[in-house]
Structure 1
Amino acid sequence: MTMEELREYVRARVRITPSGCRNWTLCLDKDGYGRAFVASFPETNRAHRLSRIAFHGSISDGLVVMHSCDNPQCVNPVHLSLGTQLQNIADSRDKERGGAYFYSGQENPKCVIDDDGVRRIRTLKRSGMTHSRIGAEVGCSKTLVTLVVTGRRWAHVI
């Protein structure tokens, strides 16, 4: 398939929205991204990546295709840019699209303990109390107690 044929393939499978997005009209994956299967590009199965290749050329290793419109269905090449995964994560956080995943500690709206609770968990553990009992006393799960005690969560709290 030539690049012009690839561009036509993409153009024929979109619906243009009032915002200028070109939404993919075929299959979507569980995250809402368009799915495309083109034999000439077996390594590319997300439609926005295929569109970026069709209209702007190859995607270098280590780069992701980012949406300025924040619409995973969109394949409009004007809305697509290249960046690193870290840039994509930062963009998502800056636009507050990441949910609780991006916020640690007390900033996370889903947190069940605060910094004082973390300190209390560590003190109770040093006194020999079991994780289950600490969780019951502090008001969190045994799993969270284990994560705090092992330093896999709330490690920033001294």
Structure 2
Amino acid sequence: MLLADGETVARYHAHVLRRGPDECWWWTGGLTDTAHGTFRAVSLPGRTRRGTVPAHLFGYRLANGPDSLPPGLVVRHTCDEPPCQNPAHWLAGTRGDNNRDAASRRRLAGHALADVRGAVGRARAVQAAIAAARPEDLDAAIAAALAAGNPSGAHQDALF
């Protein structure tokens, strides 16, 4: 139902910084401790009842249909950026697939999974850069925020 509600969909899109078709679309709303976006899809009756869902799951179903993610599958980020909302960067798979992806890429120099700040530190740095940047400086600000957590290859190898 929420996927068909124009107001809910508009609120979701208001938290997504859309960029080029191959670039990450950054979530600018709340983050979980794993750096995934968190989206309050609906407020339920009662003081503390809120219908909060992972933003990428809402977005995946919005892009692919409400029944597009069979039970037991997760949404994998091919870009390895948990707050990314670009449907072109999502792939359904098992938790095992997701864990194997991460294990195979986490030691790559300059890669998102090798960021010394961790996923949530990286995501918060990008969000801060987006909030502070002028529109014409946005790409450079995001690039600088991403680069800040990836030391040179030699130093990074010493971290692992």
CA separation in 1, counterparts of 2:52 and 2:75? 12
Gaps of 5+ in 1: 100-108, 111-158
Q: 1:85 Cα deviation (Å)?
A: 0.6
**Counterpart Cα distance in 2 of 1:43 and 1:85:** 24
Letter of the 1:48 counterpart:
H
* Alpha-carbon distance change, 61 to 44 in structure 1, aligned in 2, over 3 angstroms: farther
Q: Taking structure 1 as reference, are residues 79 and 64 closer, same or farther at Cα in structure 2, changes over 3 Å only?
A: same
* Larger Rg belongs to: 1
Q: Structure with the greater relative contact order (CA < 8 A, sep ≥ 6): 1 or 2?
A: 2
Contact kept? 2:79, 2:89, Cα under 8 Å? yes
Which 5+ residue runs of structure 2 have no aligned equivalent? 44-49, 108-112, 115-157
Letter in 1 for 2:4: M
Q: What is the CA deviation profile of residues 51-74 of structure 1, one whole-angstrom value per residue up to 9, with x for unaligned ones?
A: 001111232110000001111111
User: What residue in structure 1 maps to residue 147 of structure 2?
Assistant: none
Quote the RMSD (CA, aligned, Å). 3.0
Task: Tell me how many residue pairs correspond in the alignment.
Answer: 102
More strand by share: 2
- Is the 8 Å Cα contact of residues 7 and 51 (structure 1) preserved in structure 2? no
1:69-127 CA distance string (max 9 Å, x none): 1111111111111000111111111212678xxxxxxxxx99xxxxxxxxxxxxxxxxx
Please report the TM-score for the alignment, with normalisation by the length of structure 1: 0.53
Find the aligned partners of 1:8 and 1:77 in 2 and give their Cα distance.
16
Aligned to 2:26: 23
Measure, in 2, the Cα distance between the counterparts of 1:75 and 1:55: 10
Q: Secondary structure at the match of 2:41?
A: coil
Distance of 1:81 and 1:7 partners within structure 2: 21
